[in-house]
Structure 1
Amino acid sequence: MADETRRGPRRWRLPPPGWRRTVALRRAAAGLLVVLALGLLAAPSVAPAGTPVLVAARDLAPGVALGPADVTVRLLPGELVPAGAFTEPGAVAGRQVVGGVRAGEALTDVRLLGPVAAVAAAGVPDAAGVPVRLADAGVAALLTPGTRVDLVAAGADDAGLVPADPALLAPGAVVLAVLPAPERTAGSAPVVVVALPAALAARVATVSLREEVTVTLR
C-alpha cells in the first residue's frame, strides 16, 4: 500500500483512435484467407496442359528393337504433336526403328518398320516391306535406311556356277532397315528389309526363299 501511495492512483490508457477499425480489418483478412484455403482444398486438381506423346528416351540406332528403356512419355503442345504419333509404350514394344532416332524425337508410324513406313518410302499405296537375306555381308555394310537399290537374283545353278546374267527381281527398292548384327542368327547372312510395291514384294519374297539375292546401289 505504501508503494501505491507513493506512485499515486493507476491511470488507464485509452486505445488509439481507429483501433476498432484496425481490429475489424485484421479479422476480415483472416476470414478471407480461411475462405481461400478452403476453396483451394475443394477445387479439383488440374491436369498438366499438353498431349502425351511417346518419344525416344535416348539416341536409337537404325534397326534397334524398342524396349522399355528406349522410350518415355512426354507432354507436348497440341500443335506440335506430329501425325501418327504413339502414346503408349506397349504399342511399340519390340518394333524396329527405321533410320536413326535422336533422344526426345517423337515416335511416329513412319519411323517404325511396318506398312506405313513402307508406303512412305516406296511412294505407292500398296507397298510392303520385304526381308531379304543377302548373299554378301560386305554389301549389307554399305546400306543405310533410305538407300535405293536394285534387287538381283544371283543364285548358283545345279553345277554351283553363278549365272552370267543374273535376273533383275525388282528395280528401285528402298532400304527400310538393316538388321543389326547381334540380332542375326549365328552364321547367317545379313538381312535387309526393303520397301516395294505389292506385286514386286511377293516376287522378291518367293525368289529369296530358294535363291541368293544381292543388290546394286543406285
Structure 2
Amino acid sequence: MPHQSRSTLLARAERSAAAAGKWSPPSRTPLRAPFDSRFSRNRPRNPDTRRGLKRRFGTLIGRNRRLTVALLLCVAAGIAVQQLTPASEQRVNVLVAVRDLPSGTNLAASDFTTVPVTQGLAIPTAFEDPGALAGRQLAAPLGQGQIPTESSLLGPGLLTGSPPGTAAVPLRMADPSSIQLLSPGQLVSVVLTAAGSYDESRESQVLAGPVAVLWTSAQGGKAGEWLGTGDNDGLVVVAADPRQAEKLAGASTQGKLFFVLVSP
C-alpha cells in the first residue's frame, strides 16, 4: 500500500464520517490575542515590585549618605545666598575728596576724583564736575572719601537747610585770637560790651544767641565770597534769624563784641 500523508488520511476520514452522518467539525481553541504593549503600560505594578524599588532606593541612599547630605547642604546654602543677596542697584558717579582737606582750603580739580555709588548713597546736591569746585573755599573740613556739597563750601550754600529768613551775619570780634576756639556748626551767644572811659563801668548784654557759626577767619583762606574784602582778621560769620540779624548789624560800632560758647 502506497504511503499516504497525514492530511490525506484525515480528509478521507472526514468524508467517510460525513457520509455516515456522524461527523462534526472539531472545536478549535481560539487563538490568544497578541501581546499589546499599550495595555501593559497601564497595568498596576506588582506590590512586590514596588517594595523592591523602595528597598533599592533606600540601599542607594544609605551607601551614599555623605554625598546626599553634602548635596542637601549645597542646595540650602544656595537658597540662603539667593535670599540674602540684595538686588543690584543702579549706580551714579559723584565726586569725593582724594585726601583730607582742612577748613579754608582753596579747592582745585585735582583734589577730587569720581567714584560710582548706589543711588541710595548719592547726595542730591553732590557735584559731578571737578571744574565746578575749582577756586571755591571749604567752610568745614572734608575727609578723604567724603562727598562735597554746597553746604560745605564758603558762600550762601552754608545756609542750606536753615529756616526761611535766616541771614549770614559777619561779626568782628574784639579778641581775634579767640576765634581759634570756634568751628563751623558750633553754637555761640554774641555779647556786646559798651564802650566807655576807664572810669565808667561797662555794661554787657547778650545781643543774640544761640546762633550757629558758619565760618571764621581762623580757617584761613579769603573771605571775599562773604564780605568782598581781604581784611578778615577776627571775623566770624553766624546764621541769625531776622530779629537777631537786626540786633547784630552794626553792633561792632556800639562797643566790643565777644562770644560765649553754648552747648547744643
- Alignment TM class, shorter chain as reference: 0.5 to 0.7
Which amino acid in structure 1 is aligned with residue 211 of structure 2? A
Pick which of 88-97 and 128-137 moved more.
Answer: 88-97
Q: Deviations over 1:41-97 (max 9, x none)?
A: xxxxxxxx7423222221111233323333333332222211311222343333332
What residue in structure 2 maps to residue 214 of structure 1?
Answer: 258
Which amino acid in structure 2 is aligned with residue 133 of structure 1? R
The alpha-carbon deviation at position 161 of structure 1 amounts to: 7.5
What residue in structure 1 maps to residue 189 of structure 2?
Answer: 150
Matched, 1:164 2:202: yes
Matched, 1:86 2:124: no
Asked if structure 2 preserves the Cα contact closer than 8 Å seen for 1:97 and 1:113, the reply is yes
Which amino acid in structure 1 is aligned with residue 146 of structure 2? E
One of 95, 114, 117 as aligned partner of 1:54: 95
Q: Secondary structure at the match of 1:117?
A: helix
Give the direction of change, closer, same or farther, for the CA distance of 1:188–1:113 in structure 2 (3 Å limit).
closer
**Taking structure 1 as the reference length, what is the TM-score of the superposition?**
0.63
Matched, 1:130 2:169: yes
Runs of at least 5 residues in structure 2 that lack an aligned partner in the other structure: 1-89, 223-228
Asked if structure 2 preserves the Cα contact closer than 8 Å seen for 1:56 and 1:104, the reply is yes
Give the direction of change, closer, same or farther, for the CA distance of 1:202–1:137 in structure 2 (3 Å limit).
same
Asked if structure 1 preserves the Cα contact closer than 8 Å seen for 2:195 and 2:202, the reply is no
Q: Matches of 1:94 and 1:53 in 2, distance apart?
A: 19
Q: Matches of 2:135 and 2:215 in 1, distance apart?
A: 14
**Taking structure 2 as the reference length, what is the TM-score of the superposition?**
0.53
Which amino acid in structure 2 is aligned with residue 136 of structure 1? D
Of structures 1 and 2, the one scoring higher in RCO (CA 8 A, sep 6+) is 1
Q: Matches of 2:114 and 2:200 in 1, distance apart?
A: 52
The alpha-carbon deviation at position 148 of structure 1 amounts to: 0.8
Which amino acid in structure 1 is aligned with residue 206 of structure 2? L
After TM superposition, what 4+ stretches of structure 1 lie above 6 angstroms from structure 2? 184-188
Matched, 1:139 2:178: yes
